[in-house]
Every structure is written in structure tokens, then in C-alpha cells.
């Protein structure tokens, strides 16, 4: 036991001190937050650019009614200027030319001509603007004709935004707001993390075993400790490296998230959004923004109701369980081969169930209660990933416990088998063994 501890300590400290570990640990949260924040940041930056657009209004409906926005300043031009401009809009100082034909009210169509590609935002803004003016005019006409007092206000009041709250009812009758979206996102993140960790640290175990075999230190070491102790020391040591990295990622991400939340989007961004919305005075736009804000608030509220201790606890359990199961197989592969090139043939049968798990996970996220999700979250080779993706949706306790128990039983059995392959494999130099030979190693007396 003492010797496993020594081995574990060496495996852990040499890896944690490696430059690659430190760099990856620091860089990952930065990259992650960059992925999350940069698009939002750039979106708020882009709004600043205002283009001047020439408007020829043959219908005379819009004269003076197109106010400048953050994206565009409108300048109305007479017909002769329009005809001249039409020919070489590219050479002119205008960004684009908006053409409203005299028969606009019958066609309901306008054209925009430009030498540039008109950005989507600008296009939809112009579209919305014209639409709202036309609707306003039509409404005014209806109001005038019917002469019902406050009709406009009344119609406005008929517009209703519906919120759909999903409620998760617990077994003891208490209810909690839940969100399928949140479940999916969390399920995806945690399932995928287990996938990455198993591959990343599983292959690290394999590399470590191969390094010992290739450098020929292994015979020196197993004259001091049992091969099983060496294998377990290595596997557990590397698991701790993984957990350390995970913990650091969580802490760093929270720090970065908290830091950037304080200092950047909140005040300035909110103000910006409000400004834009005031400028627009656009019913539909405002409506959808409102819905989006609702959603955001809902999701933020919902994250408080997610059972994070359970999820994190399960994550650590399934990470360790899945990792032990697979890394012991990776260790056996590392012991059986002499060179990296030979790894492929033996890696395949190990990688297949992991990749299958990811595929099943995708469908389990859509239907976490389905029979496919159920069975694959019971099979120990796929359960770490598939079960992890189901947990944010809530999984009955008996299923969780059964899945955990099956995983434990399987990895104990697997460690027994792989340890027997390992202790023979590490001393076999030269030719690449066949599956049959590896099978025979199981029966050797230690």
C-alpha cells in the first residue's frame, strides 16, 4: 500500500509539474470564455458603424419618416438625382440606394442597390422600418374608418407573449421549475467532458506504461513492487492529475466568468441594448427582444434550481469509474506493445464503445427517458457518458445506483483481467503479440 502511494506520488508530481499540463490548465478556461464572450463583444462593437443611404421615394409615403438609426442615416433624393445615381452607385458617396417605386402600395416591394454586400442587420432593420410605417398607416386608416375610440391601444393590448414553464415534480410532491434546454446543455457538457477525460487520461496511462517499457526501467521497478501496484499507482496518480485539472478549470472558469461579468457586459451592454430599443420604437423587434430577455432571466433563474452538488458528485463518480475501467484497458494495451505504431490495432476495440457512447448521448439528450438511453446508461462501457448526460434531467435513484453498482463490479473485474495482461506484457520485448497470445497471458502463473 505504501508503495502504491510512492508510485502514485511520482506519477502525480511529475505530470503536474510538466509545462504542457500547466499551459493546458491555464489556457483552457481562457479559450472557453473567449469562445463564450468574444462573439457577444464583437456584436456590440459592430453596431457602431453608420452608413448613409440614399432614398428615392416615388410613392411619397416615407418622405421624412425614415429616422436615422445606429446602422443607417437616410437621405431622400429627387427623381433626377436618383436616375443619375442608379447608374453608378459604386462611385457615389452613398453606401446604398433604397428605391421605393410609385406603385409601392400595390407591390409591397422595395429594392436596395449597393456596390457592397448589405449586412443582414441593416437589411432587416430597413425591412422592419418600412413594414411598421405601412402597418401604422393602415391601422390609422382602419381607426379613421371605424371610429371606435382608442382602437389602436386596444389592438395593441391583444398582443400577448406566452411563457411556457416546465415544472419538474419530485417524488415527494414538491415541484421545481426545470428547463429542458438547461438539461440538454448540462448533459452535453458533462457527458462530453467524461468522454474527453477518458480519452485524454486513458491514453496518458497508455503512454506512461509504454514509456516505462521502452526505457526498460520497468524490470528495475517490478523487482521492487508488484506489477499490480505499479499499474494501480499509475492509474490512480493520473486520475488525480485529471481531477486536479478539472478542479482548476472549474475554479478558473468561475473566476474569469465572475470577473468579466463585473467589468464588461452588464452596465454598458444593457445601456446599449436599451438605447437601441428606444431608437427603434419597433413593436415586433421590441417584442422578440423582450422574449429573449425573458428567456435569459429564466435560464439564469433555472441554473439556481439545478442540483449542482448531485451533478458534480455524479460527475466525479462516473469520471473515476469510467476512467478506471478504460484506463486499465489502456494500460494493458500499453504493456502489450513496443511502439506507438502498434497501438492502433488494440486501441480500436477500446475506442469503439467510447465513441458509441457519444453517439448514444446525442439521442439520449433528446429523449433521456427512452429505452435506448436507459439501457446504454446501464451498460458499464457506455454508462459513464450516457448516464452523465441524463442526470441533469433527473434520473430515478434506483437507476443511478444500479448503473453505479454495475460500473464498480465491471471495473473490478476488468482491473483483474488487465492486471494479468499487464504483468506479462511489460516484460515481453520484440514482436507484437496476437490476441490469442494475450489471451494465454491470462492463464500464466504470477
In the complex, which residues of this chain contact other proteins (CB under 8 A)? 3, 6-7, 10, 14, 211-212, 215-217, 219-226, 427, 429, 437, 440, 444-446
Which three cell numbers mark 1?
Answer: 500500500
Whichever of 120 and 429 has its CB closer to other proteins, that residue is: 429
Question: Smallest Cα–Cα separation from 353: which of 392, 388, 322?
Answer: 322
Find the shortest distance in angstroms from Cβ 445 to other proteins.
5
Bridge partners for 260 per DSSP: none
SS3 of residue 175 by DSSP: strand
- SS3 assignment for 46-64: HCCCCEEEEEEECCCCCCC
Whichever of 77 and 221 has its CB closer to other proteins, that residue is: 221
Q: Let me know: does 324 contact 415? Beta carbons within 8 Å.
A: yes
Whichever of 10 and 261 has its CB closer to other proteins, that residue is: 10
Whichever of 143 and 225 has its CB closer to other proteins, that residue is: 225
Find the shortest distance in angstroms from Cβ 348 to other proteins.
24
DSSP letters along 330-370, please?
HHHHHHH-SSGGGHHHHHHHHHHHHHHHHHHHHHHHH-TTS
Q: Let me know: does 203 contact 362? Beta carbons within 8 Å.
A: no
Find the shortest distance in angstroms from Cβ 339 to other proteins.
16
Q: Let me know: does 64 contact 79? Beta carbons within 8 Å.
A: no
Whichever of 30 and 427 has its CB closer to other proteins, that residue is: 427
Q: Is 220 left (phi over 0), alpha (psi -120 to 50) or beta?
A: alpha
Which three cell numbers mark 185?
Answer: 446543455
Whichever of 224 and 281 has its CB closer to other proteins, that residue is: 224
Q: Let me know: does 218 contact 212? Beta carbons within 8 Å.
A: yes
Whichever of 259 and 444 has its CB closer to other proteins, that residue is: 444
Q: How far does the chain reach from its first CA to its final CA, in angstroms? A: 19
Q: Where would I find the H helices in 62-214?
A: 79-87, 104-107, 120-146, 151-158, 180-214
Find the shortest distance in angstroms from Cβ 326 to other proteins.
24
Find the shortest distance in angstroms from Cβ 223 to other proteins.
4
Whichever of 8 and 198 has its CB closer to other proteins, that residue is: 8
Whichever of 143 and 221 has its CB closer to other proteins, that residue is: 221
Find the shortest distance in angstroms from Cβ 432 to other proteins.
15
Find the shortest distance in angstroms from Cβ 18 to other proteins.
9
SS3 of residue 108 by DSSP: coil
Distance between CA atoms of 108 and 134, rounded to whole angstroms?
9
Task: Write the CA distances from 131 to 55, 126, 285, 308, integer angstroms.
Answer: 16, 8, 12, 46
Instruction: Write down the residue that cell numbers 433624393 correspond to.
Output: 77
Find the shortest distance in angstroms from Cβ 13 to other proteins.
9
Whichever of 182 and 218 has its CB closer to other proteins, that residue is: 218
Q: Let me know: does 384 contact 197? Beta carbons within 8 Å.
A: no
Distance between CA atoms of 446 and 441, rounded to whole angstroms?
10
Find the shortest distance in angstroms from Cβ 9 to other proteins.
9
Amino acid at each position: 500500500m505504501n508503495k502504491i502511494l510512492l508510485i502514485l506520488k511520482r506519477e502525480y508530481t511529475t505530470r503536474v509539474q510538466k509545462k504542457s499540463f500547466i499551459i493546458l490548465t491555464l489556457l483552457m478556461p481562457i479559450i472557453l470564455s473567449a469562445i463564450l464572450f468574444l462573439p457577444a463583444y464583437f456584436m456590440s462593437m459592430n453596431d457602431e458603424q453608420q452608413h448613409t443611404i440614399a432614398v428615392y421615394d416615388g410613392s411619397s409615403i416615407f418622405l421624412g419618416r425614415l429616422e436615422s438609426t445606429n446602422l443607417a442615416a437616410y437621405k431622400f433624393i429627387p427623381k433626377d438625382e436618383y436616375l443619375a445615381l442608379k447608374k453608378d452607385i459604386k462611385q457615389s458617396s452613398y453606401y446604398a440606394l433604397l428605391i421605393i417605386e410609385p406603385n409601392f402600395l400595390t407591390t409591397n416591394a422595395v429594392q436596395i442597390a449597393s456596390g457592397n454586400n448589405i449586412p443582414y442587420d441593416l437589411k432587416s432593420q430597413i425591412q422592419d422600418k418600412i413594414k411598421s410605417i405601412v402597418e401604422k398607416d393602415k391601422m390609422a386608416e382602419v381607426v379613421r374608418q371605424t371610429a371606435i375610440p382608442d382602437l389602436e391601444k386596444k389592438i395593441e393590448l391583444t398582443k400577448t407573449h406566452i411563457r411556457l414553464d416546465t415544472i419538474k415534480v419530485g417524488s415527494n410532491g414538491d415541484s421545481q421549475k426545470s428547463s429542458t434546454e438547461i438539461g440538454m446543455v448540462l448533459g452535453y457538457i458533462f457527458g462530453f467532458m467524461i468522454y474527453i477525460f477518458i480519452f485524454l487520461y486513458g491514453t496518458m496511462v497508455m503512454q506512461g506504461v509504454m514509456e516505462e517499457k521502452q526505457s526498460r526501467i520497468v524490470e528495475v521497478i517490478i523487482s521492487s513492487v508488484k506489477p499490480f501496484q505499479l499499474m494501480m499507482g499509475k492509474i490512480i496518480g493520473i486520475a488525480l492529475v485529471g481531477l486536479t485539472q478539472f478542479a482548476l478549470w472549474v475554479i478558473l472558469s468561475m473566476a474569469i466568468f465572475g470577473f468579466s461579468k463585473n467589468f464588461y457586459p452588464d452596465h454598458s451592454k444593457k445601456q446599449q441594448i436599451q438605447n437601441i430599443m428606444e431608437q427603434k420604437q419597433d413593436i415586433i423587434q421590441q417584442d422578440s427582444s423582450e422574449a429573449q430577455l425573458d428567456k435569459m432571466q429564466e435560464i439564469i433563474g433555472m441554473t439556481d434550481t439545478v442540483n449542482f452538488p448531485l451533478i458534480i458528485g455524479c460527475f466525479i463518480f462516473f469520471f473515476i469509474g469510467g476512467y478506471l475501467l478504460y484506463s486499465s484497458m489502456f494500460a494493458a494495451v500499453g504493456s502489450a506493445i513496443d511502439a506507438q505504431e502498434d497501438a492502433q490495432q488494440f486501441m480500436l476495440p477500446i475506442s469503439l464503445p467510447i465513441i458509441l457512447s457519444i453517439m448514444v448521448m446525442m439521442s439520449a439528450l433528446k429523449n433521456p427517458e427512452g429505452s435506448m438511453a436507459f439501457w446504454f446508461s446501464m451498460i458499464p462501457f457506455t454508462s459513464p457518458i450516457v448516464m452523465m448526460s441524463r442526470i441533469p434531467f433527473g434520473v430515478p435513484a434506483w437507476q443511478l445506483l444500479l448503473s453505479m453498482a454495475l460500473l464498480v463490479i465491471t471495473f473490478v473485474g476488468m482491473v483483474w483481467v488487465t492486471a494479468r495482461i499487464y504483468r506479462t506484457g511489460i516484460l515481453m520485448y520484440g514482436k507484437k503479440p496476437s490476441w490469442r497470445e494475450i489471451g494465454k497471458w491470462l492463464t500464466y502463473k504470477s
